[in-house]
Structures are given as structure tokens and as C-alpha cells.
């Protein structure tokens, strides 16, 4: 076969080297990856890569920093299984495989001229961070910007430094709520959906981007609908088992869609019928 | 059904001619695979010639049943389809995608294995199977990403189709409009004709490559009577279908009945054994396994056929999305008959009947679809 | 700055949207503005539930204290939200501590007085129920989601 076929083999990973490693939470780290050769491909907020840990396997992880902020990829990885555990243990200088970018992104450009409402649950803030960074890089192009974050406890708040920096800006509303807290916590306690009716946005001109566990997204979507945001303007990032990321292995099917290529980011009006069906 | 018109694209060969065809393909450096009897079934494997073919055998098929029987003649293709399909050659059940090596300094290198040199010639491809190959082409070659290994094997494959001289008890290609006559997608298409001691094959030439191979095979021109007789054989087969599937509005019917009680009913019978997905000529789901040596220096990534009937198939952090049998059967059937149309523009079913025959408990998707059609709108959704 | 009358303040609250004018007036008679410093309690668990609050500014934490355990915050409530629902349900005793997390400005409503008025005028009682029932259902629902612990490691 000609050599260009070799180059086009979508199963072959590119090699990246781990740069900085930052511990975010007890079970999550952020890895900065630099390409071993050639430039990193461009990507959009909300897209993901398949990260390969030598001999262990591949796992789908969203980019967690905007393409504009560096020459490599940034991924926040939670130690939740064999592969993600191996990735979370990588040290600076280690090599790993990367395939991507894959999938649809957040409607950051489409949201220009409108209010932006970010709703993140737990590690769901990671895939949303590049969208927030891109919106804030062109803050003047958007209406009100609101970032709502829900976590398990005050110890599980991801990117505290970023949240603090965004909160300092006068042109962004940042609200963080936790499910469980003691009296030493001075922030909000309650499920993230409780922040939605308290937030300043104009439902007719809002684009909502929601990421977190599926059940959290389902209830956030219902709270947003109740607040008057149209289903076509509510975007969710879905998760399903993913092996190939290129629509060939069949694993990530969600009704008629493939989460890897039709998603992971979907407008709610495309999937609301499926969200209501158990075990789909 | 269109009449086969007499023209230069039709010739006639005898059994010796068939042997010559196999020889010519083999001498051309091809790996010739075709039907052969093994383990009391007709399977697809490497064949050397007429002696490898299931001469004088036929298969009797019903839901959950398959048996070989002797024929009264010496037909080479006097059966329907067995548990194998050509998928196992174009999309191998186990395939190494790549290998990786790690050095002491932690660096890593990835390399593709040597591609198999197999240039296949498939002998005895049924019309429904040609359609199945076309369906897998859409998955592996015509999406945003191409499976390059599949594409290489596929572009080299030489296809000798065989028009069906009889239908099986679980066949419904007429419902799916995929057979029983091969109309496209072949290099040569045979119709086997036995009258008394005369054993002939009408050969329709479907490609330039097919024509050049036939130049090496002794043959005579086909007359109109011969072509008409071949046509009659296929028409008779079309009238013998063992099953029927009403495809009218089937996609909307299934997608609109995701919570129909019939899914629980079929779940009481289904063993989630995955047989239906293994024998299906279009099922394309796969998983990957990663292996490494004990020193953790050499690793490889291997792709294997997978099935939506396994628990692991839908595993995400915390558990499986489709834990119940009902949800897994629903996934398979709605994907095959409905969602496939949204994804790839055609049904994922070609009506070959394998999933019915090889289901150990005889679950019949044509019956399951009919049951939902009979009581649409039951249950939520 | 003009001094707002209590009935105008109440009528401007989303919680009392479409509340009939005569009832607003009636309610205003039971209501007064209150201020709490950070750390002060609006309600103590076990006290008679003879007052509820509509928060105008600041944050209030509902807390449970158990022996030998650090107090746990069940939920926090802010502007436009109601603190205290036990006044509607016998035996009319508070079930949580409600503590001001930051300085709080609220309308305190004499629930004992209101209960009597609701009993006397079931139209008023029903209008109150229509507003309190969704609050209770919403909190129950939110609590269920908190119990689900959706972000935890399964």
C-alpha cells in the first residue's frame, strides 16, 4: 500500500510527552502534553482525545484548556479505572499516545451576541473550561456570562484558582454550590440545579452549556427548560463507552447517534427523547 | 424481476469450467475461499477446487435449527447460507491494529504490523451477502474515517456470486430487496443449472476483471433459452421465502416503541449469547484489547468482534448502561432495523435469516417486529 | 428615598406574584423587616414555628446538629427564598436551625397570626398553600439529588 494510507490510519496514535502535571483533587490530575514531533492539531472547546497508556489501553478524555492557551493538549484525568489510573500516575517526561481531536464542540461561536450560561457538575467543569476561556478571551462579543458549578463537597471543587480569577472579574457571575458541607463552608449548599432560577440570564437570548453526570444534566436541562431556555439552545456533553472514537466500533451508540462523531456535545432538542428512555 | 437479456456478458461453463475458474484465480495469486462442509455445517474456508465444495449437500433451516442433508443431485451450491459470512475475511474476528515498544528512557514507538498480503477471491457469494458487504463498506470506508486495512482487503477482493436456486426456511431477502438474484457488486455471477446428467453454470460477467479471468476458462456463449431458464430458477426461489418482514414504516415503528412490553417478552427468551451478532453479516461492532509482555516493553492493540449483547459493551464509569436483557435485545434490533437507516442510509438487515437459524432459542426478529406492529403504542414512549 | 410600605415590598416579591391585593394587605399586617448579623440564627430547631422569613438580601444556611458530629449544612437559601415552612404543619415546631451565613435582610412574618387568618379564610389559606407546596417539593427534589451523590466515585 502507498505510504499515505499508513499516515491516514485513524487507529494509530501520535506520540506526546507529558510536560507539567498538576494535582487538582485527591483523585484527579491535569496533564500538559506536548507533541513529540510536528504541531499539535487545532481543536475546538468540547472536543476530546483518545489517550493511550502504554500496554493498558485507551480512554476518551476531553481537552480541558483552550487551544489558544498553549502549543499542546491539556487534559484533566480522574483516576477511575485501569487506563485513567495509569494516565493519572504519569510523570513529567513520560510518553503516551494521543488520537484526536474527535467529536463536536461547544457552540462558542454561535453564542456570540447572547447570554452564556455554563452549568458544570463535578469534573464536568473540565470539558467546559476551554469554552469559558474562549468566551472570556472575547468577552465583548457576549451578553451576560454566568458560570454555575456543583460539586460533591468543598474538597472537590475543580480549578479553584480559575474560579477565583473569573469571580474577580466584574463581567462574570460565578456561583459554586456543594452537595455536602459543614458549617466552615461559607458558600452555597444544594444541588447545582438550585442555582439556575437564581441566576441572571435572559432565557430568550441564552445559550446554555451543560456538562456533568448524565442524571445531573437531565435535571439541569429540565430546570433550564422551566426557566424558559429553548431546547435548541441547551447543549449537553454525553458520555458512552468509547473504543474507537471514529464511528467504527459501535460502542458509543445513543439511540441513532454515535456519541463519538455526532456528539459528545448535542443540542437538547436532538436527544431529549432519548434522555427519557432508560438503558438506551 | 428483470429478464436477463442475452448479450456478450453471459457465457456458460460446466463443472470443469468451475474448476478452471478456481485455478485461474489461484494462479493469479489470490487466496480462494468458498463453501465447504465442516463440523456438520457449510462454512467458508480456503478451497482448492470442486472437491472442497459441498457437492450434493443442502441445508435445512428453521428458527433455532440447522441440519445438512444429502441432495438427490451433485449441486455445488445447492444450499442457502451457513453460520459464516464473508465478513470474517474482510473484517477479521481478531486483528492486531498496531504494536508499541517502550524504551528504558520512557519513550515509546508505535508501528503497524505487516499488512496481510491476502488478495481474496470469494466463490459463492449470495445476493444478500453482496448487499451485506456493501453495508459494511458504508461503515468502514464511507464515513469520516476509513478503516484502511479493511479498505485494502476489500478493494482487492474478487467476487464470484451465486444466484440462489432455493430459499431457506429463515430467508427473507425478498422483503429486504437484497435478493435472491445478484444484480451488482460482483465480478462474476453464477446460476447453477442441473438437468439430468447436464451440470452447467450460466456466468454473468460483472466487471472487466471478471471478463479477463473468464478468458482463461473454457466456455460457450449463452443462448436466450439458457438465460431464460436461469431467470426462472431465481424467480422460483423468490417465491419460496421462508420468512417475511414488513419494512413499511419499520424505522418509525421501532423508534416509537422503545418501551413496548414486547421487549420484556423477548427478554424472557433471549440468553444474550450474542450468536445473532456473530453470524450476522453486517454487525460491525468491535472492542480492543491491549496486551503487553511481562517486561512491559512490547505492547499491542488487538481488535476483536464484540457484541451489544455483552454486559461490558455499554460499560461506563460506574456500571453498564444496558444492564437488562430487554435493553440489549432492543439495542440490537432497533439498531439493525431502524437506527442503521439514520446512520448509514440503509437498513442493517439483508434478510439472510442467520440470526433466526442460529439463535439457540429460535428468536425470530421478523416475528418480534410483527408483534410490535400488531400492538403499537403499548407501553410508554 | 421614599419609605416603601410593607404591602408594596411584599407585592414586589416574586414569591407573592399574582397574590390578590386584599391578601397582600392582610399579610402586611403580620410582617416586619428584620436584620440578622452573620452567625445569628433566624430559627432554632425545636422552637415553636411561629415565624417565617422571606429573604431580601444575604444567605441563610439550614443546618442539622447531631451529637458528636460536626453540624451539617442541608441547604443554603438566598434572595427571594423562603426560610421556614414548619409553621404550616402541626405541631408547628422548627425542624432545622436557620443561620445567617452573611448579613441578612428579611421580611419576618408572624406565622401564628397568619395561621389564624388562613383558617378563617380558606381562599387565603389556599393561596398560601399554592406558594409553599412548590417550595417544599422543590427542596425535597433537590435533597434527593444531593443524596444521589452523583459526583462521587461509584
Options 2.60.40.1180, 3.10.20.90, 2.40.30.10, 3.40.640.10; CATH of A10-102: 2.40.30.10
C-beta of residue B104 within 8 angstroms of C-beta of residue B55: no
C-beta of residue A109 within 8 angstroms of C-beta of residue A130: no
Residue A190, pLDDT score: 95
Chains that touch C (3 or more CB pairs under 8 A): A, B
Residue B5, pLDDT score: 47
Judging contacts by C-beta atoms under 8 Å, the chain B residues touching residue A249 are 285-288, 306
Residue B113, pLDDT score: 80
**CATH class of residue range A115-237:** alpha beta
Judging contacts by C-beta atoms under 8 Å, the chain C residues touching residue B319 are 154
CA distances to A6, A7, B46, B140, B147 from A2, in Å = 7, 9, 28, 19, 15
Kind of pairing between the strands at A73-78 and B41-46: unpaired
What mean pLDDT do residues C8-16 have?
90
- Distance between CA atoms of residues A176 and A168, nearest Å: 14
The single residue listed with the C-alpha cell 444531593 is C146
Spans in chain A with pLDDT lower than 50: 1-7
A88 touches chain C (CB under 8 A): no
C-beta of residue B78 within 8 angstroms of C-beta of residue B166: yes
For A57, phi then psi, to 5°, come to 145, -170
Kind of pairing between the strands at B286-292 and A234-237: unpaired
Distance from CA of B317 to the nearest CA of C (A): 8
Paired with B60 in beta bridges are: B67
| Helix (H) or strand (E) run with residue A121 in it | strand A115-121
Return the residue of A nearest to B254 by Cα.
Answer: A255
The single residue listed with the C-alpha cell 432459542 is B361
| Helix (H) or strand (E) run with residue C132 in it | helix C122-148
Quote the mean pLDDT of chain C: 91
Judging contacts by C-beta atoms under 8 Å, the chain A residues touching residue C142 are 190-191, 193-194
C-beta of residue B77 within 8 angstroms of C-beta of residue B36: no
C-alpha cell at C40: 445569628
- Distance between CA atoms of residues A239 and A245, nearest Å: 12
Distance from CA of A32 to the nearest CA of C (A): 24
Of the residues B95, B302, B343, B381, the best mutation for testing chain A's interface (the one with the most A CB atoms within 10 Å of its CB) is B343
Paired with B302 in beta bridges are: B96, B289
A38 backbone φψ class: left, alpha, beta (φ>0; ψ -120 to 50) = left
B237 backbone φψ class: left, alpha, beta (φ>0; ψ -120 to 50) = alpha
Q: DSSP letter string over A180-195?
A: SEETT--SEES-GGGG
List b or e across C64-103, with b for residues whose CB sees 16 or more CB atoms inside 10 angstroms.
Answer: eeeeeeebbbbbbbbbebbbbbbbbeeeeebebbbbbbee
Q: Do A280 and B296 touch (CB under 8 A)?
A: no
Residue B214, pLDDT score: 97
Kind of pairing between the strands at B158-162 and B188-195: parallel
- Distance between CA atoms of residues C41 and C57, nearest Å: 15
Digit-by-digit pLDDT tens for chain B (381 residues) are 444 444 569 999 999 999 999 999 999 999 999 999 999 999 999 999 999 999 999 999 999 999 999 999 999 999 999 999 999 999 999 999 999 999 888 789 999 887 666 999 999 999 999 999 999 999 999 999 999 999 999 999 999 999 999 999 999 999 999 999 999 999 999 999 999 899 999 999 999 999 999 999 999 999 999 999 999 999 999 999 999 999 999 999 999 999 999 999 999 999 999 999 999 999 999 999 999 999 889 999 999 999 999 999 999 988 899 999 999 999 999 999 999 999 999 999 999 999 999 999 999 999 999 999 999 887 765
CA-atom Rg of chain A in angstroms: 19
Residue C132, pLDDT score: 95
Strands (E), chain C: 31-36, 41-43, 51-57, 60-64, 72-77, 82-83, 97-100, 104-110
Q: At what angle do helices B325-334 and B262-269 cross, to 10 degrees?
A: 110
- Distance between CA atoms of residues B186 and C43, nearest Å: 83
Question: How long is chain C?
Answer: 154
- Distance between CA atoms of residues A180 and B275, nearest Å: 47
CA distances to A24, A140, B19, B129, B139 from B125, in Å = 58, 63, 17, 6, 20
B317 touches chain C (CB under 8 A): yes
**Any idea where the domains of chain A sit in the sequence?**
10-102, 115-237
- Distance between CA atoms of residues B328 and B311, nearest Å: 9
Nearest to B258 by CA among A64, A34, A273, A86: A273
Judging contacts by C-beta atoms under 8 Å, the chain A residues touching residue C70 are 182-183
Return the residue of A nearest to C149 by Cα.
Answer: A152
Residue B104 CB burial class (10 angstroms; 0-12, 13-18, ≥19): exposed
Residue B317, pLDDT score: 84
Distant-in-sequence, close-in-space partners of B322: CB < 8 Å, separation ≥ 6: A279, A280, B308, B313, B314, B328, B331
C-beta of residue C61 within 8 angstroms of C-beta of residue A189: yes
**Would you tell me which residues 175-234 of chain A have a C-beta closer than 8 angstroms to some C-beta of chain C?**
177, 179-183, 185-191, 193-194, 198, 212-213, 215-216, 219
Q: Tell me the HSE value of C139 on the side-chain side, using a 13 A CA sphere.
A: 15
pTM (whole model) above 0.95 = no
**Domains of chain C (ranges plus CATH)?**
6-148 (2.60.120.10)
Strands (E), C8-152: 31-36, 41-43, 51-57, 60-64, 72-77, 82-83, 97-100, 104-110
Distant-in-sequence, close-in-space partners of C26: CB < 8 Å, separation ≥ 6: C117, C124
Distant-in-sequence, close-in-space partners of B256: CB < 8 Å, separation ≥ 6: B376, B377, B381
C-beta of residue B244 within 8 angstroms of C-beta of residue B172: yes
Sequence-ordered alpha helix ranges (H) in chain B: 15-27, 87-90, 127-141, 148-156, 173-176, 208-214, 224-238, 250-255, 262-269, 275-279, 325-334, 340-344, 354-357, 365-374
Between vectors from CA B134 to CA B132 and to CA B137, what angle results, nearest 5°? 115
Tens of pLDDT, residue by residue over C71-115, are: 899 999 999 999 999 999 999 999 999 999 999 999 999 999 999
C-beta of residue A114 within 8 angstroms of C-beta of residue A206: yes
Residue A82, pLDDT score: 94
| Helix (H) or strand (E) run with residue A253 in it | strand A253-254
A14 touches chain C (CB under 8 A): no
Judging contacts by C-beta atoms under 8 Å, the chain C residues touching residue B318 are 154
C-alpha cell at B25: 484465480
Nearest to A215 among C99, C102, C148 (CB): C148
Distance from CA of C81 to the nearest CA of A (A): 10
Nearest to A249 among B110, B285, B296 (CB): B285
Paired with A258 in beta bridges are: A253
A47 touches chain C (CB under 8 A): no
Question: How long is chain A?
Answer: 280
* 3-state SS, residue C117: helix
For C121, phi then psi, to 5°, come to -130, 100
Distance from CA of B3 to the nearest CA of A (A): 38
- Distance between CA atoms of residues C152 and A62, nearest Å: 19
For B335, phi then psi, to 5°, come to -65, -50
C21 touches chain A (CB under 8 A): no
Nearest to B250 by CA among B368, B164, B151: B368
Amino acid at each position: 500500500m502507498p505510504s499515505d494510507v499508513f499516515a491516514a490510519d485513524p487507529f494509530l496514535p501520535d506520540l506526546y510527552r507529558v510536560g507539567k502535571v498538576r494535582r487538582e483533587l485527591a483523585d484527579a490530575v491535569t496533564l500538559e502534553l506536548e507533541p513529540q514531533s510536528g504541531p499539535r492539531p487545532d481543536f475546538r472547546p468540547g472536543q476530546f482525545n483518545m489517550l493511550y497508556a502504554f500496554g493498558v489501553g485507551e480512554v476518551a478524555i476531553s481537552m480541558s484548556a483552550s487551544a489558544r492557551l498553549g502549543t499542546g493538549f491539556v487534559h484533566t484525568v480522574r483516576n477511575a479505572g485501569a487506563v485513567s489510573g495509569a494516565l493519572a500516575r504519569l510523570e513529567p517526561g513520560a510518553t503516551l499516545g494521543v488520537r484526536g481531536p474527535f467529536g463536536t464542540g461547544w457552540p462558542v461561536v454561535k453564542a456570540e451576541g447572547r447570554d452564556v450560561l455554563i452549568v458544570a457538575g463535578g469534573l464536568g467543569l473540565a470539558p467546559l473550561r476551554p469554552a469559558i476561556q474562549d468566551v472570556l478571551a472575547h468577552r465583548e462579543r457576549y451578553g451576560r456570562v454566568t458560570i454555575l458549578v456543583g460539586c460533591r463537597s468543598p474538597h472537590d471543587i475543580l480549578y479553584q484558582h480559575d474560579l477565583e480569577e473569573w469571580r474577580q472579574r466584574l463581567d462574570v457571575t460565578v456561583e459554586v454550590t456543594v452537595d455536602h458541607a459543614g458549617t466552615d463552608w461559607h458558600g452555597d449548599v444544594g444541588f447545582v440545579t438550585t442555582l439556575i432560577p437564581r441566576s441572571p440570564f435572559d432565557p430568550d437570548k441564552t445559550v446554555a452549556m451543560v456538562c456533568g453526570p448524565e442524571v445531573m444534566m437531565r435535571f439541569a436541562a429540565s430546570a433550564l427548560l422551566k426557566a424558559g431556555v429553548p431546547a435548541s439552545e441547551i447543549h449537553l456533553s454525553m458520555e458512552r463507552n468509547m473504543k474507537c472514537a471514529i464511528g467504527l466500533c459501535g460502542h458509543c451508540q445513543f439511540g441513532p447517534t454515535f456519541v463519538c462523531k455526532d456528539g459528545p456535545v448535542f443540542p437538547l432538542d436532538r436527544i431529549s427523547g432519548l434522555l427519557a428512555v432508560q438503558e438506551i | 424481476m428483470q429478464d436477463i437479456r442475452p448479450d456478450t456478458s453471459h457465457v456458460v461453463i460446466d463443472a470443469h469450467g468451475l474448476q478452471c475458474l478456481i485455478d485461474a484465480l489461484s494462479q493469479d495469486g489470490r487466496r480462494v475461499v468458498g463453501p465447504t462442509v465442516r463440523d456438520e455445517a457449510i462454512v467458508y474456508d480456503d478451497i482448492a477446487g470442486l472437491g472442497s465444495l459441498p457437492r450434493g449437500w443442502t441445508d435445512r433451516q428453521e428458527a433455532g435449527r440447522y441440519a445438512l442433508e444429502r441432495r438427490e443431485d451433485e449441486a455445488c451450491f445447492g444450499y442457502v447460507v451457513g453460520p459464516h459470512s464473508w465478513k470474517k475475511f474482510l473484517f477479521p474476528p481478531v486483528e492486531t491494529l498496531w504494536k508499541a515498544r517502550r524504551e528504558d528512557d520512557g519513550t515509546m514507538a508505535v508501528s503497524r504490523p505487516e499488512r496481510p498480503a491476502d488478495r481474496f477471491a470469494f466463490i459463492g457469494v449470495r445476493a444478500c451477502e453482496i448487499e451485506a458487504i456493501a453495508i459494511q463498506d458504508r461503515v468502514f470506508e464511507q464515513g469520516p474515517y476509513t478503516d484502511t486495512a479493511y479498505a485494502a482487503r476489500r478493494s482487492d477482493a474478487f467476487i464470484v456470486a451465486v444466484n440462489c436456486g432455493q430459499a431457506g426456511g429463515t430467508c427473507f431477502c425478498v422483503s429486504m430487496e437484497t435478493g435472491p438474484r445478484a444484480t451488482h457488486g460482483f465480478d462474476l455471477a453464477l446460476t447453477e443449472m442441473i438437468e439430468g446428467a447436464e451440470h452447467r453454470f450460466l456466468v454473468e460477467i460483472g466487471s472487466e476483471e471478471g471478463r479477463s479471468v473468464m478468458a482463461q476458462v473454457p466456455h460457450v456463449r449463452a443462448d436466450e433459452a439458457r438465460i431464460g431458464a436461469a431467470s426462472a430458477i431465481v424467480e422460483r426461489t423468490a417465491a419460496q421465502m421462508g420468512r417475511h418482514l414488513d419494512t413499511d414504516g419499520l424505522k418509525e415503528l421501532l423508534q416509537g416503541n422503545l418501551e413496548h412490553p414486547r421487549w420484556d417478552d423477548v427478554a424472557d427468551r433471549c440468553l444474550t449469547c450474542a450468536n445473532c451478532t456473530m453470524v450476522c453479516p453486517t454487525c460491525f461492532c468491535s472492542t480492543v484489547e491491549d496486551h503487553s509482555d511481562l517486561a512491559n516493553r512490547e505492547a499491542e492493540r488487538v481488535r476483536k468482534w464484540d457484541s451489544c449483547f455483552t454486559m461490558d459493551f455499554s460499560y461506563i464509569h460506574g456500571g453498564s448502561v444496558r444492564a437488562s436483557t430487554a435493553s440489549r435485545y432492543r439495542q440490537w434490533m432497533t439498531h439493525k432495523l431502524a437506527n442503521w437507516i439514520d446512520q448509514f442510509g440503509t437498513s442493517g438487515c439483508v434478510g439472510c435469516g442467520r440470526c433466526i437459524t442460529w439463535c439457540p432459542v429460535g428468536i425470530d426478529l421478523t416475528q418480534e417486529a410483527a408483534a410490535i406492529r400488531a400492538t403499537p403504542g403499548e407501553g410508554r414512549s | 428615598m421614599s419609605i416603601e410600605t410593607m404591602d408594596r415590598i411584599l407585592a414586589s416579591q416574586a414569591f407573592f406574584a399574582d397574590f390578590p391585593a386584599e391578601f397582600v394587605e392582610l399579610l402586611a399586617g403580620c410582617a416586619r423587616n428584620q436584620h440578622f448579623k452573620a452567625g445569628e440564627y433566624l430559627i432554632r430547631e425545636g422552637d415553636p414555628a411561629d415565624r417565617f422569613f422571606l429573604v431580601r438580601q444575604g444567605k441563610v444556611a439550614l443546618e442539622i446538629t447531631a451529637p458528636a458530629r460536626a453540624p451539617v449544612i442541608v441547604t443554603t437559601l438566598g434572595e427571594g427564598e423562603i426560610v421556614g415552612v414548619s409553621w404550616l404543619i402541626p405541631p408547628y415546631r422548627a425542624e432545622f436551625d436557620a443561620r445567617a451565613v452573611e448579613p441578612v435582610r428579611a421580611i419576618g412574618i408572624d406565622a401564628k397570626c397568619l395561621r389564624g387568618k388562613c383558617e378563617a379564610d380558606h381562599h387565603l389559606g389556599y393561596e398560601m398553600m399554592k406558594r409553599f407546596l412548590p417550595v417544599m417539593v422543590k427542596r425535597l427534589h433537590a435533597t434527593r439529588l444531593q443524596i444521589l451523590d452523583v459526583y462521587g466515585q461509584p
